[in-house]
Structure 1
Amino acid sequence: MISKTTIDQVYETARLEEVIGDFVQLKKSGSNFKGLSPFTDERSPSFMVSPVKQIWKDFSSGKGGNVVAFLMEHEHFTYPEAIKYLAKKYNIEVEETEQSSEQKEQANERESMYLVSEYAQKYFSEILWDTELGKAIGLSYFKERGFTDETIKKFSLGYCLDNWGSFTNAAIEKGYQLKYLEATGLTIVKEDASNAANTKMFDRFKARVMFPIQSLSGRVLGFGGRILTNDKKAAKYLNSPESDIYHKSKVLYGIYHAKQAIAKEDNCYLVEGYTDVIQFHQRGIENVVASSGTALTPEQIRLVNRLTKNITVLFDGDAAGLRASLRGIDLILEQGMNVKVCSFPEGEDPDSFAKNNSLEDVQLFLKENSKDFIQFKASLLMKQAANDPIKRAETVRDIVNSIAKIPDRIQKEIYIQECAQIMNISEAVLFNTLAQIGKKDEADANKKLKEERKDQAFNVVKNETTITKVDVQYELERKIIEILLLYGNSSQRFEDLLLKENDKGELVLEPEFLDAKVYEKIFLDLQEDEIELSNENFKSIYKKLIQELNENENFTINSFIAPLEQDMVSEISSILMEEEKYILHDWGRKDIYPKAKDKGIAQLASETILTLRCFLVKRRINTLQSETTDIEKDNREILEEIMNYIQLNKLLNQKLNRVLS
């Protein structure tokens, strides 16, 4: 268990915008930050971060919370894992008591797979550095590639012994279960159906140098292993199989080490292999990731899109693979990103070029040879078309097809103009071609929609228009919690209108002023009317809030939500960030400037309580009226009570300056 002192220090030190900035590209928006949702596929920002409140809200998925909640949602950390991650980031020493065997058993299956993977990474690194075979085979290979000790340790590279069960046996001896070793793909299990005792276990990565594949937060998801022998039957590179924690289509090699540099440089270099990434890092260029030998996927592109809008794709000098790689460029364009392309001289790849040239020379080469994708694609395809008019026409159509993928209309037009100049063809022809492609895409979409509707033709669907009724009491109780969270400790002058009898014996309202803190006024008003919040979540938050505000003069939202359950933290973040979503619409650009709530805190608090009173009084009147339907019953007492409540309701509405019909 992690000590409370450590947890408190983590919450006090961690800055939400810094932590989330490692995963999402954030842009200033007033006093907040906004960015693309890391939980959904979107092109317009709906993700808000409040540095003042130290909470975040994702309006596209509905998720929200504090810094720990983000790590738990995004990285699937347990609470202790999130605290440890933050402690490591901010160099905080973790005070921890020994976990009991029962607590260890409570770790879920995903967490067990992470633990197995992390153990494997440490094991393979120890074999590389601490055994004679590891040094002679694995370490010498990395040294031959030109990697320094510092680089090898930075990327946690390792070696798996040329033995069928060394790793598996060591892991089982350490207490790791075989089912998780198999689930992560580290161990291959072959069962004998006739005799369970003959079950055989093999190390998947036997005799391979190991490249751990990490998530954005640095968790080990899987491995890539390279064989060092010339065995033609064995694959040169072998990756971990798909598992609950490793989905190769959603992971980019090196993203953990590159994320901050990508955000800082506002550009990401995309290469093909592990060693390309490592060699670039060693040379001093850190904003680089690899697709790990797989075809580029939309999920991988969106991973980069959270950090930057700019990708530079680096190709080997080998022309054979260029055409296939162009398909990846179209995927990047579809995501609304800016693409440049850089090809290395023939016979060179990013690994060899970075190894054989200085940092200045590599940077200069990338700067001078990174071309706009239109220029690159046109020059590449035109070489293949030569003087053949048919192939030339196909080339033009191919380029326009790529332009059609771009979601932004202005960008499309600029690229069409550029393409017209490069290909020496009129803009009108290209725009017509673009329109034809658009019509075809629209026709295909309509055809697909018709087919879907045809499949549902025999399903009788009753369309019912449902009107969602506003739950007034829920909204008012929610507003009370919001006021307490934002302004609970604020001292205000409240104007109360007290019910008094004048000289004529009539009930009138007379003003009386009270200086008090907002939480005191709300608490006293609710106590006076014996009002208890009806929503269980709000009731629980209200009690904790009043207690915390009463006991702690230095109340902060961050310290208040730190010890709460995550579902309660999420509820609070939703309450506090509800109005922040309107910032996303940027009303200021439309010359609309809403009045800030903190300009009338006392009035806001008083009116909210009064409105709740009115609502409860009207509900009581309706209840009493329903009891007078029996004409044979003597209803005089009930009718008298109704009249009293009607009079009270009238006075309450006078306080609110409302006219009753």
Structure 2
Amino acid sequence: MISKNTIDQVYETARLEEVIGDFVQLKKSGSNFKGLSPFTDERTPSFMVSPVKQIWKDFSSGKGGNVVAFLMEHEHFTYPEAIKYLAKKYNIEVEETEQTNEQKEQANERESMYLVSEYAQKYFSDTLWESQPGKAIGLSYFKERGFTDDTIKKFGLGYSLDEWEAFTKSALDQGYQLEFLEKTGLTIVKEQTGGESRKFDRFKGRVMFPIHSMSGRVLGFGGRILTNDKKAAKYLNSPESEIYHKSKVLYGIYFAKQAIAKEDNCFLVEGYTDVIQMYQRGVENVVSSSGTALTPEQIRLINRLTKNITVLFDGDAAGLRASLRGIDLILEQGMDVKVCTFPEGEDPDSFAKNNTYEDLVLYLEENAKDFIQFKTSLLAEEAANDPIKRADTIRDIVHSISKIPDRIKKEVYIQECAKIMQISEEVLYNTLAQIDKKGAADTFKKQNQEQKAFEVVKSDPVTEKVDVQFELERKVIEMLLLYGDQKQEFEDLVLKENDEGDLVLEPETVEAKVYEKVFLDLQEDEIELANVNFRAIYYKLIEELNAKEEFTVNSFLSELDQEIVGEVSSILMEEERYTLHDWERKDIYPKAKGQGVAQLVGETILTLRCNLIKTRIKKLQLDTEGKNGDNSEILEEIVNYLQLNKLLNAKLNRVLS
């Protein structure tokens, strides 16, 4: 268990915008920050961060919360993991009591796999630095590659002994379960006749490259064999598992994320050593797809940090052709792509190793071409004087342009292609239209098939009714959160009989804090919030506002269950949705939220009362139905309620039919 003192310190120290800024590229928007949703695929920002309230809201997925909730949602951390991550980031010492064996057993499968992977990384690293074979084989290899001690330690590189079960035996001796060693793919288990199983290390005799998540957790490994064994694969990766999905991971993203956001560009290379060598040379905004074909999920990972990708290729022509497919995927995500090739016989690893930082940066700046220039020059060379190949090349380029969502960019690229390929723009536009038309037809056909597959009998559409009670209770919570400890002058309404004998509401001015006014009014009317979550938040809020001299949303959220934190942040950030539209730029200036607090509180309470009166009247009317006896008392009560409802609505400037 982590001590309350540590948790309080973490909440007080952690800055939400800094933590989220490690994962999402944020831009200033008034007093808030906005960015692309890290939970959905989108091109228009709908993700808002409030530094003042220390909460965030993702309007595209509906998720929201505080700093801990973000880490739990984005990195799939447990609550203790999120606290420990923040403590490490802000150099806070974690005080905790020792876990019992029972608590260790209760750790979920996912966490057990993370723990096994983290142990493996430490084991391989220790083997590299401390064992004789590790130093002689593994460390020598890394030194030959030109990696410094600091770089080797930073990336957690290691060595797996050339023995059948050295790692597996060590892990089992340390109490790690074979089930999770097998599920992470670190150990291969083969059943044998007679019921016994044989266990051996997957990465036997390889130098090890740990693969980290964006938050720095070890997900899996890449292992390179150093012998000339033709039967064994040169590189071997961890198999797919509960924690490692290679199509959703980029090697080096943990080390590169801040540099990518800062430089507003990401260099994409092919291998582990390309990443490490360039990082060591000083170009830190570099990641790799780890030898797999680039996937949309990997591109979206970069898209959260920057809109710009520069793909780095070596001189291998066959590799270039295959990689062009990846460029189309990047374009499809609405990103800007540049391509840079290295001189023949060079790759990012060797070029970074043999050149200074200044030379490397200069080369990248001077040789990075826009994708259209690169693709046209590459394919035009191959087509040479063959008219058929030339036509295919032009069609291929236009097909890539068709992937771009931005119409202006499409037009610019069409003009560029026409110039380079010496063909009329009209022909290219017609070809583009045909491709777009075919794409639209295919999409329509697919949608039509899906619709037929799930066709149901159509009925009249039912308009969803607004739950007035829910919205009013939500507004009560919002007022308490935003203005609960503010002192205001309120206009109280007292029911009196005038000289003519009619009931009237006379105003009386009182000074009180918002939470006091709300609590006393609801208590006077014996109003209990109907929504379970709102009721729990309401009593917790009243208690906090009454007990503490200085109330802050951040400290209040730290006391709540994480399920309720999401509800609270949604309430607080709902109004921020409209700042995404930049109304001021359209000369529309919405009223500031803090204006007219006393009026807002008074009108909300009055509306809540009116709604309860209407509910009460309906119940009384139902009581009279089907009854033949004397209903005069009930009818008199209904008349009184109707009269009171009329008075309250008049005060709210509403006309009743």
2:233 aligns with 235
Q: 1-side partners of 2:229 and 2:457: how far apart?
A: 61
Q: Which amino acid aligns with 1:246?
A: Y
1:4 aligns with 4
**Cα displacement string for residues 317-353 of structure 1 (whole angstroms, at most 9, x for unaligned residues):** 2222111111110000000000000000000000000
Aligned-pair CA distance for 1:464: 4.3
Preserved CA contact (<8 Å) 1:497 1:655: no
Query: Superposition pairs for residues 109-508 of structure 1, below 5 Å?
Result: 109-192=109-192, 194-196=193-195, 198-455=196-453, 460-508=456-504
**Cα displacement string for residues 73-94 of structure 1 (whole angstroms, at most 9, x for unaligned residues):** 1111111110111111111111
1:581 aligns with 577
Q: 1-side partners of 2:219 and 2:127: how far apart?
A: 20
Aligned-pair CA distance for 1:510: 2.2
Give the direction of change, closer, same or farther, for the CA distance of 1:451–1:468 in structure 2 (3 Å limit): closer
Q: Which runs of 5+ in 2 are unaligned?
A: none
Aligned-pair CA distance for 1:538: 0.6
Query: Superposition pairs for residues 579-618 of structure 1, below 5 Å?
Result: 579-618=575-614
Q: 2-side partners of 1:447 and 1:526: how far apart?
A: 57
Aligned-pair CA distance for 1:655: 2.3
Q: 1-side partners of 2:350 and 2:609: how far apart?
A: 75
Give the direction of change, closer, same or farther, for the CA distance of 1:186–1:464 in structure 2 (3 Å limit): farther
Q: 2-side partners of 1:375 and 1:365: how far apart?
A: 17
Q: Which amino acid aligns with 1:200?
A: R
Q: 2-side partners of 1:224 and 1:582: how far apart?
A: 46
**TM-score of the pair, normalised by structure 2:** 0.98
1:28 aligns with 28
**Cα displacement string for residues 174-206 of structure 1 (whole angstroms, at most 9, x for unaligned residues):** 1111010000000000012x422x211010000
Which among 530, 536, 539 is matched to residue 532 of structure 2?
Answer: 536
Q: 1-side partners of 2:459 and 2:224: how far apart?
A: 59
Q: 2-side partners of 1:497 and 1:182: how far apart?
A: 71
Q: Which amino acid aligns with 2:476?
A: I
Q: Return structure 1 stretches of 4+ with deviation > 6 angstroms.
A: none
3-state DSSP of counterpart to 1:599 = coil
Bigger shift: residues 518-527 or 385-394? 385-394
Q: 1-side partners of 2:457 and 2:116: how far apart?
A: 50
**Cα displacement string for residues 417-456 of structure 1 (whole angstroms, at most 9, x for unaligned residues):** 1111111222111111111111111222233234434545
Q: 2-side partners of 1:638 and 1:485: how far apart?
A: 40
Bigger shift: residues 504-513 or 158-167? 504-513
Q: 2-side partners of 1:444 and 1:641: how far apart?
A: 66
Q: Please state if 1:559 is matched with 2:555.
A: yes
Aligned-pair CA distance for 1:632: 2.0
Q: 1-side partners of 2:634 and 2:277: how far apart?
A: 86
3-state DSSP of counterpart to 1:597 = coil
Q: 2-side partners of 1:473 and 1:286: how far apart?
A: 54
Q: Which amino acid aligns with 2:528?
A: E
Aligned-pair CA distance for 1:133: 1.4
Q: How well do the aligned residues superpose, as a CA RMSD in angstroms?
A: 1.2
Q: 1-side partners of 2:365 and 2:309: how far apart?
A: 13
Q: 1-side partners of 2:212 and 2:432: how far apart?
A: 41
Preserved CA contact (<8 Å) 1:313 1:340: yes
Q: 1-side partners of 2:459 and 2:631: how far apart?
A: 44
Preserved CA contact (<8 Å) 1:53 1:557: yes
Q: 1-side partners of 2:117 and 2:186: how far apart?
A: 8
Q: 2-side partners of 1:320 and 1:520: how far apart?
A: 74
Which among 565, 568, 571 is matched to residue 569 of structure 1?
Answer: 565
Q: 2-side partners of 1:633 and 1:484: how far apart?
A: 47
Bigger shift: residues 591-600 or 209-218? 591-600
Q: 1-side partners of 2:597 and 2:451: how far apart?
A: 53
Aligned-pair CA distance for 1:504: 3.5
Q: 2-side partners of 1:566 and 1:536: how far apart?
A: 15
Q: Which amino acid aligns with 2:157?
A: L
Q: 1-side partners of 2:61 and 2:106: how far apart?
A: 28
Q: Which amino acid aligns with 1:363?
A: V
Q: 1-side partners of 2:332 and 2:641: how far apart?
A: 63
3-state DSSP of counterpart to 2:470 = helix
Aligned-pair CA distance for 1:585: 2.5
Preserved CA contact (<8 Å) 1:268 1:288: yes
Q: Which amino acid aligns with 2:505?
A: L
Q: 1-side partners of 2:403 and 2:190: how far apart?
A: 47
Matched residues, percent identical? 79
